[in-house]
Structure 1
Amino acid sequence: MNLLTEWLHTWRVPLLALLVLLSLGMAGPVLAQADPEGEIATAVPATDADTWRQVRSGETGPNYRDSRFDSNYNLINASGETWRQIRNRWVSPFGLIAICGMLAMIVLFYLIVGRKHLDEPRTGRKLLRWTALERSLHWSVATLFIILALTGLNLLYGKFLFKTLFGDAFWAGMISGSKMLHNYLGPLFGVLLVIILAKFLVRNLPSKHDWTWFKQGGGLIGKGRHPDAGFANGGEKVWYWLLATAGLVVIASGLVLDFPNYGQSRDAMQWANIVHAVGALGLTAVALGHIYIGTLGTEGSLEGMATGYVDETWAKEHHNLWYEEVKHQAADADETLGEESTPPQRSS
């Protein structure tokens, strides 16, 4: 025991010195890992400004490609930045200008001109204008359009308003619900829109008298009788063809975004997003005018889509050519209750 104790006392100092040297030797790598510059210098040599310039220039070699399977995108995707700039600098401001500008025009028009009332008293005799099927299609498409417009606007602008007002928790639930509604109701809207466009195609074919309707501003410019119009007037036909062109483009681009599992490239998704946003914002702005004219702006228009019937006076003033074709079917209001038949072929 005495010999062991003596040996430990003798070698204590050299052992402590050895332990200190070992700890200093291990501290070097640890400090190098704690130092970001040192770590980069050892893990990725020559990662300097010239290397990043190569990446930025579009180099897609194995050293500059992202790690996802079968990807040809480099570490810095210039097209993504282009998409972001177009969306934030052009699309978003354009949407606000278009929608707010339309709202301002409607308010000014209502304050200056007011509601368009019928020139003559109502006769009390009704004409069937919209069947139950047609009204169901219209209200279904209109309801879906409004939901998609509101959720789309929330996705684009909502964070600047609702997140600031109500905080992150409320905003998270709101944006999640908006995204789900938008993604799931979009395809349904597309199917119903195609059906309603096919059903109303013949009524919305262009006619010679449409040009006169536009020159007179639908009867707002000049004096005298209203311009000629068949079942659909010039303004209604414009709305129809906007839906048949821009509306179908919005649906197609939305499906590209809604189903990304069919091999779309990132570039295709980015351009589909831009096209979808521009088309949807433009249609939303025009839809505000359509909604105003069909409700508050024109006496008798809303009741036609609500009940299916319009007064003789309304038909004569707004759709005189159609009225001439169906005037023999006019009936007293009490006779039309519970009675609905398919209207005959109407003029364009």
Structure 2
Amino acid sequence: MHSITQIWPPFRSWQPPCLLRMLRSFLLLLVLFVALGISHVATAADPDAEINGAVPAMDADTWRQVKNGDSFIDTRHDSTYNLINPSGQTWRLIRNKWISPFGLIAIGGMLAMITLFYLIVGKNQLEEPRSGRKILRWSALNRALHWSVATLFILLALTGLNLLYGKFLFKPLFGDAFWASMISGSKLLHNYLGPLFGILLVIILMRFLKHNWPKREDFEWLRKGGGMVGKGHPDAGFANAGEKIWFWLLATAGIVVIASGLVMDFPNYQQTRDTMQWANIIHAIGALGLTAVALGHIYIGTLGTEGALEGMATGYVDESWAKQHHNLWYEEVKDQAVDGERLETSKGHADGKHDNPGPDPARPT
């Protein structure tokens, strides 16, 4: 079994090039969705423009028949109506007038803030030189769980954005044939990867729960903006307040997104159409919000903080990084620090089998 450092050779800043290329590609695709989506959001938000192509001749008499309730159905099995379900019209208006613009504003706004922050503030560099001594922060199992969940999250985000905005972006650009294959593939991936993501997310939340309970030092960390306000870096344990906020967003909004997705993924438990429509609205709002926040998480863990990606790629962090960003945790585990050169040598001799020479600080008891 090869270690991550053998599969991903490190370079100057200890960041795997292939992972950075993947992250850049993800950000570029999101920029494409947002930039092109802005030019089409007016069409998406115009219910008359869409309905005229789907349901022609919607005159006043037709709407009177719809409103009197004669054609309303309450289950997915009794599809004998020949007019429009009024609740479906409400769902479409909410989706087009509110959810679609909300997604563009949330994701586009986050991308803009990240770009401005990087240009103005720059990368969070280490205040002291690297010591050369390493501390185990993430075991191989924890890293595998993290990258599995992260990969599934990115795939679900991209396919979900395609389902929401894709017809306004790719259909006019590439035509019906390409669009049909693309949306079919997106739907298939989204439907089948969603439950797998849900299972792995619950596992990783349970595994890291003990490190994410709020503590007194978290309020000071937030007051200082993680070190951006005032002098000195605020105290932090194994997880700082920002990481804890991301954890609890996944544990709350993430679970809601998973549950609403399962309601739509398995439409064979007597769900009414109203239930499916509300599940779709809740799922979209939660998923778009999490995608926007995830962009900040990705930035901080890669380009924004020196040494952060190194820890999740190799499992080890430098002593200087631990003291600067997680000083309370460092005081607990500093006796476990090992020489970096000796660690690399031992890994080479063991051919990747000596990936965990010390105790795992992230393993729940």
Pairwise TM-score range, normalised by the shorter structure: 0.7 to 0.9
Q: Specify the alignment match of 1:38 in structure 2.
A: none
CA distance in 2, matches of 1:68, 1:142: 34
Q: Specify the alignment match of 1:133 in structure 2.
A: 141
Q: Specify the alignment match of 1:41 in structure 2.
A: none
Q: Specify the alignment match of 2:214 in structure 1.
A: 206
Q: Deviations over 1:37-65 (max 9, x none)?
A: xxxxxxxxxxx977862x333433xxx46
Cα distance change of structure 1 residues 157 and 208 upon mapping to structure 2, 3 Å threshold = same
| Structure 2, gaps ≥5 residues long | 1-58, 348-353
SS in 1 for 2:142: helix
Indicate which of 291, 298, 303 corresponds to 1:296.
303
Q: Deviations over 1:146-190 (max 9, x none)?
A: 000000001111111111111111111111111110000000000
CA distance in 2, matches of 1:342, 1:87: 49
Cα distance change of structure 1 residues 300 and 79 upon mapping to structure 2, 3 Å threshold = same
Tell me, yes or no, if the aligned pair for 1:58 and 1:74 is still in contact at 8 Å.
Answer: no
Cα deviation for residue 222 of structure 1 reads 1.3
CA distance in 2, matches of 1:98, 1:49: 37
Cα distance change of structure 1 residues 228 and 52 upon mapping to structure 2, 3 Å threshold = closer
Q: Specify the alignment match of 1:342 in structure 2.
A: 359
* RMSD, matched Cα: 2.2
* Paired residue type of 1:161: L
Cα deviation for residue 73 of structure 1 reads 6.9
Q: Which moved more, 1:182-191 or 1:162-171?
A: 162-171
1:56 matched to 2:63: no
CA distance in 2, matches of 1:318, 1:239: 17
CA distance in 2, matches of 1:85, 1:239: 31
CA distance in 1, matches of 2:170, 2:158: 13
* Paired residue type of 2:257: V
Tell me, yes or no, if the aligned pair for 1:131 and 1:342 is still in contact at 8 Å.
Answer: no
1:331 matched to 2:348: no
CA distance in 2, matches of 1:227, 1:93: 37
1:281 matched to 2:288: yes
Q: How many residues align?
A: 295
Tell me, yes or no, if the aligned pair for 2:137 and 2:362 is still in contact at 8 Å.
Answer: no
* Paired residue type of 2:108: C
Cα distance change of structure 1 residues 198 and 100 upon mapping to structure 2, 3 Å threshold = same
SS in 2 for 1:120: coil
Tell me, yes or no, if the aligned pair for 2:124 and 2:304 is still in contact at 8 Å.
Answer: yes
Cα deviation for residue 76 of structure 1 reads 3.4
* Paired residue type of 1:104: A
* Paired residue type of 1:115: K
CA distance in 1, matches of 2:182, 2:77: 34
Q: Specify the alignment match of 1:309 in structure 2.
A: 316
CA distance in 2, matches of 1:184, 1:68: 21
1:187 matched to 2:187: no
Indicate which of 279, 282, 286 corresponds to 1:272.
279
Tell me, yes or no, if the aligned pair for 1:230 and 1:346 is still in contact at 8 Å.
Answer: no
Cα distance change of structure 1 residues 270 and 198 upon mapping to structure 2, 3 Å threshold = same
Tell me, yes or no, if the aligned pair for 1:295 and 1:301 is still in contact at 8 Å.
Answer: yes
SS in 2 for 1:296: coil
Cα deviation for residue 256 of structure 1 reads 0.5
SS in 1 for 2:246: helix
Q: Which moved more, 1:160-169 or 1:127-136?
A: 160-169
Q: Specify the alignment match of 2:150 in structure 1.
A: 142
Q: Specify the alignment match of 1:152 in structure 2.
A: 160
1:218 matched to 2:235: no
CA distance in 2, matches of 1:81, 1:272: 15
Q: Specify the alignment match of 1:227 in structure 2.
A: 234
| Structure 1, gaps ≥5 residues long | 1-47
Cα deviation for residue 74 of structure 1 reads 8.3
SS in 1 for 2:134: strand
Cα distance change of structure 1 residues 166 and 332 upon mapping to structure 2, 3 Å threshold = same
CA distance in 1, matches of 2:79, 2:203: 39
Report 1 or 2 for greater relative contact order, CA contacts < 8 Å, sequence distance ≥ 6.
2
Tell me, yes or no, if the aligned pair for 1:203 and 1:346 is still in contact at 8 Å.
Answer: no
TM-score by length of 1: 0.81
Q: Specify the alignment match of 1:110 in structure 2.
A: 118
Cα distance change of structure 1 residues 72 and 231 upon mapping to structure 2, 3 Å threshold = farther
Tell me, yes or no, if the aligned pair for 1:65 and 1:74 is still in contact at 8 Å.
Answer: no
Cα distance change of structure 1 residues 86 and 212 upon mapping to structure 2, 3 Å threshold = same
Cα distance change of structure 1 residues 345 and 284 upon mapping to structure 2, 3 Å threshold = closer
CA distance in 1, matches of 2:332, 2:195: 38
For residues 15-164 of structure 1, the aligned pairs below 5 Å read 53=64, 55-60=65-70, 64=71, 70=78, 75-164=83-172
